[in-house]
Chain A
């Protein structure tokens, strides 16, 4: 039994806590000239919750990745500091959302029967996600006047179903592609230089993609539509290793973008603002122009927390958090944020490589891709590298659904890495015990048993019954 303890995680976790408390202290000093305990309420709540999650991981999931939680905590800390700076009244709410999110993270990491168990519920997951989003057509509300009814109101709380759908769709894609992986690689009919997977097996997948993209486009939730399509392509590539399929997808995307430009006024506006925000600097381009001013004012080292004017940027505490970071923490701060997302994606892909269960590997890949792409879409949108599509900055932005959904993603990553680590530890122990690695002869009796044999036999029985 290798119970080295989670010392690396414990050490790393001290730094997000330090950043959060140092940030809150600066804000307190700048506002009131003194430091009082009640100004640290959100920070203390967050610290206590992180400590609790760390305790649960040390106790129940000793093999889980030790860097994922600290990275997520650092992003959340920076988010909490910037929310306290911009909307002090919302900081406590955000810390409560983080408690809920971290609680869900722990529940998923600890309480999930197994990663393979999730695989069986792919249609349940997809149906649940889509019906939540469909419900916004009927019951949708628009609490903050963004012009799109993307929220559901539940007992005074607003839920954004597309955030939930994000996680559930990754689950669906990973599960489906895992079953039909080999067909995508080897099977199918030729169409010129391209080999296409047999249509009957591809149809449910394509249908799911089309339905979710259709719904989101219909709702003008273009950021989410872009994100889902990107994740779909990333997973298709991870499962098949065929760039041709991705190329085909990108061609489809180009066609869809052209069509969207024709059909939707909002797309035309976004593209016009992207090309020249100054032409409409008081109207449609106002937000992005203010963000660019903020970044320029920040320079390399930033103005210091509380000394800039990021409150001029609409939605600075949600979608445009990076502009506020860039103004008050400078390039130093915003580059650190980019590096943190890169590190999170790196860990997710590393977890995928370490697991030998192909569904778990695809799941981790998809979860890494969804966080990375989401960060990329909104960061690049804020910096005017691509047309802006409103979407939250994962783990940093203010917003309950976003925080909880991204915490769930981190929880899944922790669980996948724990299962892979447990298998590796057991194998290492049995190798040490017997001197030779014991090998199980696979008997090709049924596909389900052959797939599970030798990999995760006792821990995660492959749930794919023939």
Chain B
């Protein structure tokens, strides 16, 4: 119940209007300031995030064969990946045409190398049978049994 003496309602309404716009834009400015600080913090984080990569590469399941792998999943791998049906492999592929210790993928001097470990049905690189240890590049497709994996660079997210 404010009937301020000596001050017209119009003046009061005008003051309220101005106060409302000030509050609205103070809010937007506060958001802007927060976004700026946020971007600064993000830029400061970047180098520390890159010096500890979570994995050295990913193997992307393109085809599962008869294994229980699911096509489309990405498997983060370390510097040595033993591939085979036995549970002591880093990458267990329970496909019926995969040997217990089938193949090995090793990171050596900055490049990936694929070797067949004397498997029964052989290992394929880009659908060609692997005859000797061969360098693998990102994007190449590794085949063991019915399963196919693509070597991909480590993702930003695990």
Contacts and interface: CB of A to CB of B under 8 A. Distances in A.
Contacts of B76: 442, 450, 453-454
Contacts of B34: 8, 67
Contact of A356 (B19, B59, B69, B157): B157
Given A19-B24, A343-B31, A346-B35, A187 B13 contact: no
Interface stretch (B1-9, B111-119, B127-135): B1-9
B62 A29 contact: no
Interface residues of B, number: 51
A410 B78 CA distance: 38
Interface stretch (A10-18, A314-322, A396-404): A10-18
Interface in A335-388: 336, 339-340, 343, 346, 350, 356-358, 361
A26 B71 contact: no
B20 to A, nearest CB: 4
A12 B30 contact: yes
Interface string A180-218: 111100110000000000100100000000000000000
B60 A444 contact: no
Interface string B58-84: 011110000011111111111001000
B100 interface: no
A451 B69 CA distance: 13
Contacts of B78: 441-442
Given A29-B13, A454-B158, A74 B27 contact: yes
A22 B23 CA distance: 9
A444 B90 contact: yes
Nearest to B61: A447
Interface string B8-52: 010011101101110111111011001100100000000000001
B83 to A, nearest CB: 9
A444 B91 contact: yes
Main secondary structure of the interface of B (DSSP, over half): mixed
B54 interface: yes
Contact of A15 (B1, B14, B23, B77): B23
B1 A34 contact: yes
Given A70-B27, A455-B158, A34 B72 contact: no
Contacts of B28: 336, 339-340, 343
B31 A67 contact: yes
Given A447-B61, A447-B73, A453-B76, A186 B152 contact: yes
Contacts, number: 140
B16 A26 contact: yes
A443 B90 contact: yes
Interface in A1-51: 8, 11-12, 15-16, 18-19, 22-23, 25-26, 29-30, 33-36
A187 B158 contact: no
Interface in A267-324: 304-305
A309 to B, nearest CB: 18
Chain A, interface size category, equals 35 or more
Contacts of A361: 157
A6 B150 CA distance: 45
Given A19-B24, A443-B90, A71 B157 contact: no
Contact of A446 (B17, B55, B68): B68
Contact of B2 (A8, A34, A340, A343): A34
Given A67-B31, A441-B78, A304 B13 contact: yes
A336 B158 contact: no
Contacts of A180: 72
A437 interface: yes
A142 B19 CA distance: 41
Given A187-B62, A442-B55, A182 B74 contact: yes
B92 interface: yes
B1 A22 contact: no
A30 B13 contact: yes
A324 to B, nearest CB: 15
A464 B17 CA distance: 54
4 nearest A-B residue pairs (beta carbon)? A447-B73, A444-B91, A183-B72, A15-B27
Given A12-B27, A442-B55, A444-B59, 14 more contacts: A12-B30, A12-B31, A18-B19, A33-B9, A182-B74, A183-B72, A304-B17, A332-B25, A361-B157, A437-B52, A442-B75, A442-B77, A446-B68, A455-B158
12 contacts: A8-B34, A182-B73, A186-B60, A186-B62, A333-B21, A439-B52, A446-B68, A446-B92, A450-B75, A454-B158, A464-B70, A466-B69
Interface of A: 8, 11-12, 15-16, 18-19, 22-23, 25-26, 29-30, 33-36, 67, 70-71, 74, 179-183, 186-187, 198, 201, 304-305, 329, 332-333, 336, 339-340, 343, 346, 350, 356-358, 361, 437, 439, 441-447, 450-451, 453-455, 464, 466
